[in-house]
Structure 1
Amino acid sequence: MRLFPGIFTTLAAQALLVSVVPGGALVLFLHQTSAFQVEARDRDRLEGFALAASQAARAGRPLDQIVRELDPSRLGGRVSLVTPQGNLIAGPGGAAIVERPVQVDGRTVAIARLVKRAEFTDADRRYLATQYIGIGVIVLALFTALLIAAYIFARRWTRPQLELYRMSRQVVHGDHEIDFDEEGPPETVATMRNLHRIASQFSRLETARRTWLVSISGELKRPTENMGEHFIALCQVEPPIPPELLAGIEEDTHRLIHMAEDLSAIALADLGRLPVTFEQVDPRALIHNAIWTHKKRAQTQNVRLETSTLPEYTILVKWDGARIEQLFGALIDNSLRYTPGNGRIVLGLESSRDAWRLIIDDSAPGVDIMLAQRLFEPFYRSSDRPEDSAAASGLGLATARAIVEAHHGRIEASRSPIGGLRVTVVLPANPPTA
């Protein structure tokens, strides 16, 4: 989180603006003031020139000589004399910037004109340079002070914000045992306390949820195992039970057994204790076993269960064979639930570097691609039809994800090339060593 650099950069930019703008304005003001002073000096000198010219004319000196005698010491060739009618007597021509009359006994005999604006002298430039350097030093010192203040402020302000951000990330990632320093503005400290209380409540609720889930799965597993034994005994009673009733009992029994197994796997995976025993197995054999196990049910629903892209040679990987069979069972069961008659379910196996990609495709109707990843949430169903809800526990794909994660792999859903759902499972050939 780049909170401190962002705030410090903003404050530094403001400090630069606060320092440079007044400094620039001060430089401009100094330059304009100096120009005004030079213009005022020229006016005073022109006044003096006109007075000297009046005295010279009163003494009978020719007017054309007055400019040559008096101008070099006063206005540096920028002054001219013209008649009252505007005819040039002496000096450079040009439009008048400032004019002053040359009078003799109250009568205007000529007009002194300043025809060029003054330029800064070397002394003026040295003075302005000294002033500019002083202003630059002041601006630099002000900017440095503001920059230090901005750093201190940004550091003190962002520290509690970063602490609050750290706490929120811990809560998001499931770490509810958070500690914090009560440092910062009162509002931020109050938010920290509220977040800590929320995390504590979440921790209690999560602990209760996991405890209930494990307890329920354990309690459900025992009677479902007994139901299998009771079903075998029920098949041997005389007179025999009608086949339709026997098939219904068998289907419900298998469904309860699978539900108990799935719930137990999800509960253990949630606690990070899903038992997995890695040993060498052949994925091709596991796929063929899964097809053989579900072949009868697929034929009953008039669905073709087939394979594609299976390697022609034996493959040895280190997986938990029983868990992978449970994974295949959950995936095939999910596909059978939503694949209509005359549809297809295709299982494939492809090499992917140091891993293997297991692919299962089924026929239309498919699943909205925006909802595909929600299929792996417990008790989520993509269909609202009552018959689908009655036949599904909503735990199959959640169990599949738990098994895949226990094998350090990944699972994802997408649109199938044959119109339905594609589920892709990528498992490393060998589990990573701790």
Structure 2
Amino acid sequence: MRLFPGIFTTLAAQALLVSVVPGGALVLFLHQTSAFQVEARDRDRLEGFALAAAQAARAGRPLDQLVNELDPQRLGGRVALVNAEGQLIAGPGGAPIMERPVQVEGRTIATARLVSPAQLTDADRRYLAIQYGGIGLIVFALFTAMLVAAYVFARRWTKPQLELYRLSREVVHGDHEIEFEEEGPPETVATMRNLHRIASQFNRLETARRTWLVSISDELKRPAENMGEHFIELCKVEPPLPPELLTGIEEDTHRLIHMAEDLSAIALADLGRLPVTFEQVDPRALIHNAIWTHKTRAEGLHVRLETSTLPEYTILVKWDGARIEQLFGALIDNSLRYTPRNGRIVLGLESSRDAWRLIIDDNAPGIDVMLAQRLFEPFYRSSSRPEESAAASGLGLATARAIVEAHHGRIEASRSPIGGLRVTVILPANPPTA
């Protein structure tokens, strides 16, 4: 979370603005003041020159000589004299910037004109350099002080916010036993306390849920196993029971056994204790075994089980073969439940760097992409039709996700290119054992 950099950057930008704008205004004011001073100085000098020219005229001295004697550091090369008719007597031509009359006994005999602006002297430059340097130093000191204040304020203000963010993230990630320091504004501290109470309630509910789930799965496994044994005994009864009754009992028994296995896997995975035994297996063989196991049921539903993009060579990976077969069984069972008559279910295997991508496609009616990931939630059913909901336990895909996560992989659902659902499982070839 980049809360501190964002706040500090905003405050630093404001500090820079508050420092530079007044500093720029001071520089502009100093520049204008200097221009006014130079203009006033030229005005005074031109007045003095006009008086000197009048005195020279009284003494009978030529005025052009007076212009040529002007100091270049003052008005030299910038002043022109014109007679009463406007004819140039001496000096450069050009449009006048300012004018002063040269009068003798109340009569204007000439006009002194300033025809070019003043150039800054070395003294002027030194003065302005000192002033600009002082303003720059003040602006830098002000900006530094405000930057330090911004850092302190941002650090102090964001610390409780970051602590609150940390607590909320821990709660989201399932850590409900959170600890925190009550530091910051009263509203933030109150929010921390409320979050702690919510986390405690979640912790109690989560503990109870996991306990119930494990207990129910354990209690369900025993009668499910007993029903399998009783079904074997029923098949030996003479005279034999009607085939329809035996088929119904067999399907319900298998469904109950699978539900017990799935619920147990989900409960153990929820506790982080799903047992997996990694050994070298061939994924191609596992796919062919899964197709052979479900072939009879698929043919009864008039659905074709096919393979696609299977490598032509033997592949060795370190997976739990039994769990992966259970994974394939859950995925195929889910597709068989929704694939229409004369439909297809296609299993594929593709290489993906140091992992393998298992893909199963069907041409069922398909799903909403926005709801795709909800398929892996326990007891979620994508169909609202009563006959399909009654046949589904809602645990198959949740079990698949538990097995995938135990292998340090990931599972995703999306639209299939053949019109139905695509489930993609990505498993590392050598999952970490710890």
TM-score under structure 2 length normalisation = 0.89
Where does residue 265 of structure 2 map in the other structure?
A: 265
How far apart are residue 36 of structure 1 and its match?
0.9
How far apart are residue 272 of structure 1 and its match?
0.6
How far apart are residue 73 of structure 1 and its match?
8.9
- Alpha carbons of 1:288 and 1:107: their partners in 2 closer, same or farther (altered >3 Å)? closer
SS at match of 1:133: helix
* Rounded Cα–Cα distance in structure 1 between residues aligned with 2:30 and 2:348: 84
Structure 1, 20-29 or 408-417: larger mean CA deviation: 408-417
Where does residue 362 of structure 1 map in the other structure?
A: 362
How far apart are residue 318 of structure 1 and its match?
4.2
Where does residue 383 of structure 2 map in the other structure?
A: 383
Where does residue 242 of structure 1 map in the other structure?
A: 242
CA contact (8 A) 2:12 2:150 kept: yes
How far apart are residue 107 of structure 1 and its match?
2.5
How far apart are residue 395 of structure 1 and its match?
0.7
SS at match of 2:305: strand
Q: What per-residue deviation string (whole Å, max 9, x for no partner) do you get for residues 240-284 of structure 1?
A: 443323322322222222112111111111011112233455545
- Alpha carbons of 1:226 and 1:30: their partners in 2 closer, same or farther (altered >3 Å)? same
CA contact (8 A) 2:335 2:364 kept: no
Structure 1, 325-334 or 68-77: larger mean CA deviation: 68-77
Where does residue 334 of structure 1 map in the other structure?
A: 334
The within-5 A match list for 1:281-320 is 281-308=281-308, 317-320=317-320
How far apart are residue 60 of structure 1 and its match?
4.3
Structure 1, 313-322 or 295-304: larger mean CA deviation: 313-322
How far apart are residue 361 of structure 1 and its match?
3.2
Where does residue 412 of structure 2 map in the other structure?
A: 412
Amino acid at match of 2:152: I
How far apart are residue 369 of structure 1 and its match?
4.2
* Rounded Cα–Cα distance in structure 2 between residues aligned with 1:13 and 1:348: 56
Residue 129 (structure 2) pairs with residue 90 (structure 1): no
Where does residue 433 of structure 1 map in the other structure?
A: 433
Amino acid at match of 1:403: I
* Rounded Cα–Cα distance in structure 2 between residues aligned with 1:184 and 1:331: 51
- Alpha carbons of 1:25 and 1:250: their partners in 2 closer, same or farther (altered >3 Å)? same
Where does residue 151 of structure 1 map in the other structure?
A: 151
Where does residue 275 of structure 2 map in the other structure?
A: 275
How far apart are residue 286 of structure 1 and its match?
4.0
Amino acid at match of 2:384: D
SS at match of 1:344: strand
Where does residue 229 of structure 1 map in the other structure?
A: 229
Residue 373 (structure 2) pairs with residue 373 (structure 1): yes
The within-5 A match list for 1:12-411 is 12-68=12-68, 75-237=75-237, 240-308=240-308, 317-349=317-349, 355-411=355-411
TM-score under structure 1 length normalisation = 0.89
Which ranges of structure 1 fall in alignment gaps of 5 or more residues?
none
- Alpha carbons of 1:312 and 1:57: their partners in 2 closer, same or farther (altered >3 Å)? closer
CA contact (8 A) 2:67 2:76 kept: no
- Alpha carbons of 1:75 and 1:270: their partners in 2 closer, same or farther (altered >3 Å)? same
CA contact (8 A) 1:354 1:429 kept: yes
Structure 1, 8-17 or 423-432: larger mean CA deviation: 423-432
How far apart are residue 428 of structure 1 and its match?
4.0
CA contact (8 A) 1:49 1:74 kept: no
Which ranges of structure 2 fall in alignment gaps of 5 or more residues?
none
CA-atom RMSD in angstroms: 2.8
- Alpha carbons of 1:109 and 1:348: their partners in 2 closer, same or farther (altered >3 Å)? closer
The sequence identity of aligned pairs, in percent, is: 89
- Alpha carbons of 1:91 and 1:224: their partners in 2 closer, same or farther (altered >3 Å)? same
* Rounded Cα–Cα distance in structure 2 between residues aligned with 1:72 and 1:354: 85
Amino acid at match of 1:186: P
Q: What per-residue deviation string (whole Å, max 9, x for no partner) do you get for residues 76-97 of structure 1?
A: 2322332333233333332222
- Alpha carbons of 1:112 and 1:292: their partners in 2 closer, same or farther (altered >3 Å)? closer
SS at match of 1:412: strand
